[in-house]
Amino acid sequence: MAGITNAAYRELCAEQGAGLYVCEMITSRGLVVGDRKTSSMLSFAPNEQYRSVQLYGVDPGMMAEAAHILCERHRVDHIDLNFGCPVPKVTRKGGGGVLPWKRDRLRSILTATVEAADVHGVPVTMKTRIGIDPDHVTYLDAGRIARDTGCAAIALHGRTVAQAYSGEADWSAIAELVRAVDIPVLGNGDIWEAADAIAMTEQTGCAAVVIGRGCLGRPWLFRDLADAFAGQPTRSMPSLGEVADVLRRHARLLATVMGERHGLTDLRKHMAWYFKGFPVGGDTRRKLAMVSSLQELDALLATLDPDASFPDTELGKPRGRQGGPRRKVILPYGWLDDTTGCELDLGEAELDVSGG
């Protein structure tokens, strides 16, 4: 998620519990051409002993070159390939979640990337969706291609591109993929609490879970996940004062990474997620959403009731992007006519600049 999984937020989440924290999406072209923003996004927190990068691209040769750069220059330990983006500006060019429809193209990309990373002993995984829509399903073929090309695992978001982030994730598709391939399958979709993660693994047999929107404003979710998978009782949800302490820590990490002014600007979008459901007045919320310095933030946080309990009404509720399903997924002309795609020029489906 753009501007969310930066080094500061990953450090904050890692402080809460065990896990693998993947950086913001890097485009292969941005990396190869030396885009400054792309390079700045390849920063890692001190507690990230395992460097994990989310890489996106549509050209096999460019992806292989990007994999070499990540391994040689940035010493990454894991590369995750993103084939799940549902954004129209990407799908209309043949990228993101619609690319797996072109099975041969997907195979070429995975083969080139896995071979390049294997030289350095770095595992490659991929993430995808169920398909373009219910009539154009791709996940089983994508899973078999991932297995055949040497991917270490495949993550499945239990929604189609047409659903975007609406409705409910179909966990039965995750279970079907587990039965279909003999590489680890990671489940993704509608994990809002630790209990959801346990339920997903029990219902689907997936090897692990992938958290996206569920951790927005709730980095302590990883603490709860670590407890749940270790069979330990889940700790109580944080009070408003404890949430304020986490937010304050988040702000200081951002200031260290980005500078105080830019760091506090970045923090603004997190405010509504942190305080959702808490008794925080409208005027205070507006001021928090415009905070511009650590001193101002501390003064505002000092006005909150530290003993206010976590709002149980928010447990299990979706967080972040939702919206409605798309009436029609925007695709390149003739995209559904065949499943090859090796000769297509998809250059416009990948920008020089990373993020997303």
> Residue 176 burial (CB < 10 Å; 0-12/13-18/19+)?
middle
- Determine phi and psi for 114, rounding to 5 degrees: -65, -45
Which tokens is 152 given?
């270490």
Structure tokens at 311: 């709002």
Which amino acid, 109? I
- Best CA proximity match to 311, nearest among 238, 244, 241: 238
Whole-angstrom Cα distance, residue 156 to residue 171? 9
Residue 31 three-state SS: helix
Is-catalytic flag, 85? yes
Amino acid at 307: D
Can you give the pLDDT at residue 327? 82
Question: pLDDT (tens digit, 9 = 90+) per residue, 97-119?
Answer: 999 999 999 999 999 999 999 99
Q: What is the pLDDT of residue 351?
A: 63
2-17 CB burial, b ≥16 within 10 A, e <16 = eebbbbbbbbbbbbbb
Cα–Cα distance, 313 to 297 (Å, whole number): 26
How many Å apart are CA 59 and CA 344, to the nearest integer? Answer: 10
Strand 208-210, strand 185-188: pairing: parallel
Q: What DSSP string describes 119-179?
A: TTT--EEEEEESEEETTEE-HHHHHHHHHHTT-SEEEEESS-TTTTT-S---HHHHHHHHH
Q: List the catalytic residue out of 13, 85, 206, 215.
A: 85
- Which secondary-structure segment (H or E) carries 196? helix 194-204
Contact call for residues 96 and 54 (beta carbons, < 8 A): no
Q: Quick: pLDDT tens for 258-313.
A: 999 999 999 999 999 999 999 999 999 999 999 999 999 999 999 999 999 999 99
Report the half-sphere exposure of 28 (CA within 13 A, side-chain side).
Answer: 26
HSE (side-chain half, CA atoms, 13 Å) at 95: 23
Domains of the chain: 7-234+321-349 (3.20.20.70), 240-314 (1.10.1200)
Helix, strand, coil shares of the chain as percentages rounded to 5? 45, 10, 45
131-133 vs 136-137, strand pairing mode: antiparallel
> Are 182 and 153 a contacting pair, CB within 8 Å?
no
Give the integer Cα–Cα distance in Å for 239 and 305: 9
The rounded distance, in Å, linking the Cα atoms of 287 and 300 is 8
- What pLDDT is stored for residue 3 in this prediction? 56
Per-residue pLDDT of the chain (356 residues; tens, 9 = 90+): 445 789 999 999 999 988 899 998 999 999 999 999 898 889 898 888 899 999 999 999 999 999 999 999 999 999 999 999 998 988 999 999 999 999 999 999 999 999 999 999 999 999 999 999 999 999 999 999 999 999 999 999 999 999 999 999 999 999 999 999 999 999 999 999 999 999 999 999 999 999 999 999 999 999 999 999 999 988 889 999 999 999 999 999 999 999 999 999 999 999 999 999 999 999 999 999 999 999 999 999 999 999 999 999 999 988 888 888 888 999 999 999 999 988 888 878 876 555 54
Residue with tokens 């297995």: 147
For residue 181, what are the CA distances in angstroms to 13, 263, 289?
A: 31, 43, 46
Query: How far are the Cα atoms of 27, 106, 128, 172 from residue 161, in angstroms, in the given order?
Result: 20, 17, 10, 17
